[in-house]
Amino acid sequence: GVDAPQCYAKTGVMVVQNFPPLDAVRHRKFIRTAIRRAVGAVAWTLLGRWWHAVLLLDVVKLAYFQLLPTDALAHRYLFHAGNSLVRPLWTYDAETRGASVVNAFYSGNFITFTPNSSILPARTLALSTMSWPEMICLDKESRDALIAYGLPPKAIRVSDIPIDFYDDGSPLPSMHGPVVMLFDVTPYRSYFKASRGFHNAYYTAETWTRFIDDIVQSAKRHGWTVALKAKRKKNRFNAPAYQRYIDRLAMDPDVVLLDAGIGASRAITIADAVISMPFTSPSLIATRQGCPGAFYDPGGKLSHCDALTRGMPMLTTSSELDDWFCSLSHKAGNTKPSSTRTLQA
């Protein structure tokens, strides 16, 4: 995109297309170059240099980008940690020609963890491969974590406002009474996780179902309305059990399903409290915005990962949820002004 007003407090035009169309002459040149790169990648792979095949798509994108005239480039190219850890090759050409390249690292967790207590949380080695010239992150703890992975301190700065994973401007619903906002992590189909090399065995449909069930039942016992903010929109990669359960939740009058296109920081403005799956950032963002937040780990599968909570409450049972709601009841409805719990664009 050209600019990121929500991160830079500047005006500008946001676009999602990084590769404007080429004119006819440049397009023909690109097709010839792409064919040569593909043939070369096959030849080198047959000779044992497999990385040529792995990098082929990135190399072809670089060839396209190099054919763009400089006046067709954006002023700034913004990425986030959810779609790119490894920096694309074409961004080096963009930087050489005067564009800035930024990665907005919205995540609040930098450690690989598993529900297997015999396996201690470990560094996420992929983070050490990042080579972004500029990064913005959630808070000082996030900056320190990135520096610990070997990234240059001068390239990393803390954002003075929350960094949302996504926000398409969908309207917020009207909510009544004390509202607890749930932030989940969508469980994926096994084949999709395998194809992407996903390593986390915690975010399963079973864990997700219990996360929702326990909180919804506890919230009802204490007179709270539940709002669920899914992380991603419905797609074919989601676990079937997840979608079936979502369809049932839609029939519950005490549960409101927010559009997945609403950003976390904007969703929190209609909440009196926030609970998220460990160790995602919405609870951290909520605390920064003056809203009580907590993690819920049903069954205490991550009790050996206490160091990752960053001081946030980690609830593990229904009784702990009940106690947490009781502790908030005396100030429910006062955490956020009632005027914020209205329809907003």
The first and second tokens of residue 262, run together, are: 């609403």
Closest by CA position to 174, among listed 341, 345, 334: 341
* pLDDT of 342: 38
Question: Amino acid identity, residue 125?
Answer: L
Give CA–CA dist 226/65, Å, rounded: 47
- Eight-class DSSP state of 345: -
Please identify which residue in the block is written with the tokens 């040569």. 36
Total-model pTM: 0.76
CA dihedral 69, 74, 75, 81 (to 10 degrees): -130
Question: Amino acid identity, residue 153?
Answer: P
User: For the range 151-159, what are the long-range contacts, defined as Cβ-Cβ under 8 Å and sequence gap of 24 or more?
Assistant: 159/7, 159/104
* pLDDT of 92: 96
Give CA–CA dist 190/226, Å, rounded: 29
Per-residue pLDDT of the chain (345 residues; tens, 9 = 90+): 333 334 334 445 556 667 899 999 999 999 999 999 999 999 999 999 999 999 999 999 999 999 999 999 999 998 887 767 789 999 999 999 999 999 988 877 777 788 888 877 777 777 888 899 999 988 888 898 889 888 899 999 998 877 776 677 788 888 877 999 999 888 877 666 666 556 667 888 889 899 999 999 999 999 999 999 877 677 677 777 888 888 888 888 889 988 888 888 889 999 999 999 998 888 888 888 889 999 999 999 988 888 888 889 999 999 999 999 999 875 544 444 443 343 333
Give CA–CA dist 16/2, Å, rounded: 9
Residues with Cβ within 8 Å of 324's Cβ and at least 6 positions away in sequence, in order, are 294, 313, 315
Task: Output the CA torsion sign for 84, 86, 88, 92.
Answer: positive
* pLDDT of 41: 96
